[in-house]
């Protein structure tokens, strides 16, 4: 383990950053539609989900290249969800990561269709048989991706999150929303890595538990950054949760309570990794990075 974690993350991020637009550029599709898709794919982001997926495959001693298509598909679904979330009818956000949101540049119809296109393309890529993965595993990867992203997963979480604006939630309901809205795709990243890397059942269970704790920690950190974060680092105004009457961890638990809970989930995530018996240094470092990030 000679590499610094930031070097490691940057390398992986660069690989994803390079791959993502290539899958769109080669399409025989309307130029303006491709431009709108690529705009949001290239709008930055930490690429946390695909990196997690690849890091799990590595922790299992396998070649992460086997997971590249699945990682790309996953990031496309994450990207589509941001485009649709930002729409005027949804969160009505003008900025994301310091850049105008998709509909501000391509119009609402353009943004709706760019999102639909990315979601659909993701499944074409995920089901493509070009990689060294057997067909039965491929089908599992596709069905689990759809389950994580669909009405039982992310879309269901987005739905409840939107409907809960302005209502006072209990902690258990807030958690239920986040477990689906952000948690399911993060968990999928780890589960897909475990499937591709050939993890056994016991190890897979530990990794999934790690992912769940990481997902909650990630969301708590998001809520904290919306209050204590730096607008420059975040690329968006802070305080939007309060303005939108969002239910957040600091609101329900106080800021101190939220930080305590964040640390708690981080510790539990690390514990789960420790008992897998795998070479999990990178995964631990990624978890720590999520805990300490400023954007």
Q: Which residues bind a copy of itself (CB under 8 A)?
A: 24, 27-30, 32-34, 37, 84, 87, 89-90, 107-110, 112-113, 115-117, 119-121, 123-124, 127-129, 134-136, 138-139, 142-143, 145-147, 149-152, 155-156, 158-160, 162-163
User: 3-state class of 34 per DSSP?
Assistant: helix
* Axis-axis angle for helices 102-127, 68-86 (nearest 10): 150
Q: Which is nearer to a copy of itself, 185 or 258 (by Cβ)?
A: 185
- Complex with a copy of itself: residue 151 or 239, whichever CB lies closer: 151
Q: Are the CB atoms for 74 and 122 separated by under 8 Å?
A: yes
The smaller minimum CB distance to a copy of itself, of residues 64 and 115, is found at 115
For a copy of itself, give the closer residue by CB, 103 or 221. Answer: 103
Smallest gap from Cβ 163 to a copy of itself, in A, equals: 7
Among 73, 81, 24, smallest CA distance to 53 is for 73
Nearer to a copy of itself among residue 56 and residue 149 (C-beta): 149
**Shortest distance in whole angstroms from residue 23 CB to a copy of itself:** 10
Cβ proximity to a copy of itself: between 24 and 252 the closer is: 24
- Rounded to a whole number of angstroms, the minimum distance from the CB of residue 39 to a copy of itself is 14
Residue 28 CB, nearest approach to a copy of itself (Å): 5
Query: What's the rounded Cα separation, in Å, for the pair 96 and 104?
Result: 11
Structure tokens at 205: 């269970």
Q: What angle do CA 90, 93, 97 make, to 5 degrees?
A: 130
Give least dist CB 294 to a copy of itself, A: 31
Whole-angstrom distance, CA of residue 48 vs CA of residue 211: 12
Question: Token digits for 215?
Answer: 């997902």
User: Minimum Å distance from CB 133 to a copy of itself?
Assistant: 10
Sign of CA dihedral 169, 209, 11, 196: negative
- Give the Cα separation of 28 and 26 in Å (integer): 7
């Amino acid at each position: 383990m000679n590499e610094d974690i930031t070097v490691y993350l940057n390398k992986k991020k660069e690989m994803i950053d390079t791959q993502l637009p290539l899958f769109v550029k080669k399409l025989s599709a309307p130029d303006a539609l491709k431009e709108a898709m690529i705009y949001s794919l290239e709008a930055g982001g930490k690429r946390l989900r695909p990196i997690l997926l690849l890091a799990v495959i590595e922790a299992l001693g396998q070649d992460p290249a086997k997971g590249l298509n699945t990682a790309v598909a996953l990031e496309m679904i994450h990207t589509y969800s941001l485009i649709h979330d930002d729409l005027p009818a949804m969160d009505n956000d003008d900025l994301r990561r310091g850049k105008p949101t998709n509909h501000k540049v391509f119009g609402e119809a353009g943004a709706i269709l760019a999102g639909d296109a990315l979601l659909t393309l993701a499944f074409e890529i995920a089901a493509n048989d070009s990689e060294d993965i057997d067909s039965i595993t491929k089908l599992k990867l596709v069905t689990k991706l759809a389950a994580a992203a669909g009405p039982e997963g992310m879309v269901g979480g987005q739905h409840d999150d939107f409907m809960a604006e302005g209502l006072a939630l209990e902690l258990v309901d807030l958690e239920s929303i986040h477990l689906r809205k952000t948690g399911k795709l993060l968990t999928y990243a780890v589960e897909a890595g475990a499937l591709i890397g050939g993890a056994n059942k016991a190890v897979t269970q530990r990794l999934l538990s790690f992912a769940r704790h990481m997902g909650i920690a990630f969301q708590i950190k998001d809520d904290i950054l919306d209050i204590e974060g730096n607008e420059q680092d975040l690329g968006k105004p802070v305080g939007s949760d309060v303005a939108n009457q969002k239910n957040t961890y600091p609101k329900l638990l106080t800021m101190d309570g939220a930080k305590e809970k964040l640390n708690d989930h981080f510790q539990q995530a690390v514990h789960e990794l420790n008992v897998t018996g795998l070479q999990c240094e990178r995964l631990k470092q990624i978890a720590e990075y999520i805990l300490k990030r400023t954007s």
